[in-house]
Amino acid sequence: MRKIIVGLKRVIDYNVRVRVRPDGSGVETDGVKMSINPFDEIALEEALRIKEQGKADEIIVLSIGASESQQQLRTGLAMGADRAVLIETSENLDPLSITKVFQKIISQENPNLVILGKQAIDNDNNQTGQMLAALLEWPQATFASKISLNDTKAEVIREVDAGLETIEINLPAIITVDLRLNEPRYVKLPDIMKAKKKPLDVIAFGDLDITPNDAIKILNTEPPEQRQKGIMVDNVPALIKELENKGLI
């Protein structure tokens, strides 16, 4: 059975304007809309397309977090994933511990491909896929904008600073996805009904025997310094004069 595991993280919806709590303890989450991390949605869409091409048999969506993450897993099932696993914890786990959870589930499920978002839009860490590839000693293809698969290899085009890099990796492998890989499908109502009957296993993080790494402590959260609104000019000569005054031209 050719399996793909996709990670789905519950994050503050990307349309929400994030507000830092005045006491510096973090960002406001009460009453804020939550969604699947947009990069993870692209990862799932890609997995679904691979299955639709007959190149995978089962897609498992995995989330690690509070019980409410079941909502995002149900959305993933409605998009077309076959089953879901939630590793439930109220702790805000560090990326290395998240990676070790993935490693454990992978050792049980033996997927030949794991597709993750390149980063979560909350912590912006951009670490889990690379760490997972290191621990498993698997190849990695990060920031993918095109994936071509056969039974034993994947050719991946990566969005890098210098342009588009193509690499070939042996399977099993970890791929992390960038924004231009695909456009995720919309979920239809009948699919939401069907998703309610698909299996969703909940496992307590405490049962996995992983000790979180607490070496990095967050001391404070603050809003960024804001740029001040500047001046408006009426025409090109006035713009040139301003730039000359600043010594920029």
Partner 1 sequence: MNKILVIAEHNGTEINGSTNKCVTCASKIENCEIDVVVFSKNGDILASKAAKIDGVNKVIKIDGDINEFSLAAIIAPQIKHISSDYSHIFGPSTTFGKDLMPRVAALLDTNQISDIMEVITSHSFKRPTYAGNAILTIEVAKSEKIIATIRTASFTAAENNNNANIDTVSHDIQLPDHTKYISLQSGKSDRPDLQTAKKVVSGGRALASEENFKIIYELADSLGAGAGASRAAVDAGYVPNEMQVGQTGKIIAPDLYLAIGISGAIQHLTGIKDAGTIVAINKDEDAPIFEVADIGLVGDLFKIIPELKAALDG
Residues touching partner 1: how many (CB under 8 A)? 79
Cα(73)–Cα(6) distance, integer angstroms = 10
117, 7 Cβ separation under 8 angstroms:
yes
In whole angstroms, the minimum distance from the beta carbon of 129 to partner 1 comes to 8
Cβ closest to partner 1, residue 109 vs residue 122: 122
Both tokens of residue 109? Answer: 């499920």
In whole angstroms, the minimum distance from the beta carbon of 132 to partner 1 comes to 8
Binding region for partner 1 (CB under 8 A) out of 44-52, 57-65, 171-179, 191-199: 171-179
Helix (H) or strand (E) holding 40: helix 38-52
Cβ closest to partner 1, residue 71 vs residue 103: 103
Cβ closest to partner 1, residue 76 vs residue 129: 129
Amino acid sitting at position 91: E
Site string for partner 1, 85-124 (x = CB under 8 A): ---------xxx--x---------------------xxxx
Residues 137-166 that bind partner 1 (CB under 8 A): 137-140, 142-143, 145, 155, 158-166
Tell me if 135 contacts partner 1 by CB under 8 A: yes
Which residues are CB-contacts of 100 (< 8 A; sequence separation ≥ 6)?
Answer: 135, 210
115, 46 Cβ separation under 8 angstroms:
yes
Tell me if 216 contacts partner 1 by CB under 8 A: yes
179, 42 Cβ separation under 8 angstroms:
yes
Tell me if 243 contacts partner 1 by CB under 8 A: yes
Cα(121)–Cα(118) distance, integer angstroms = 10
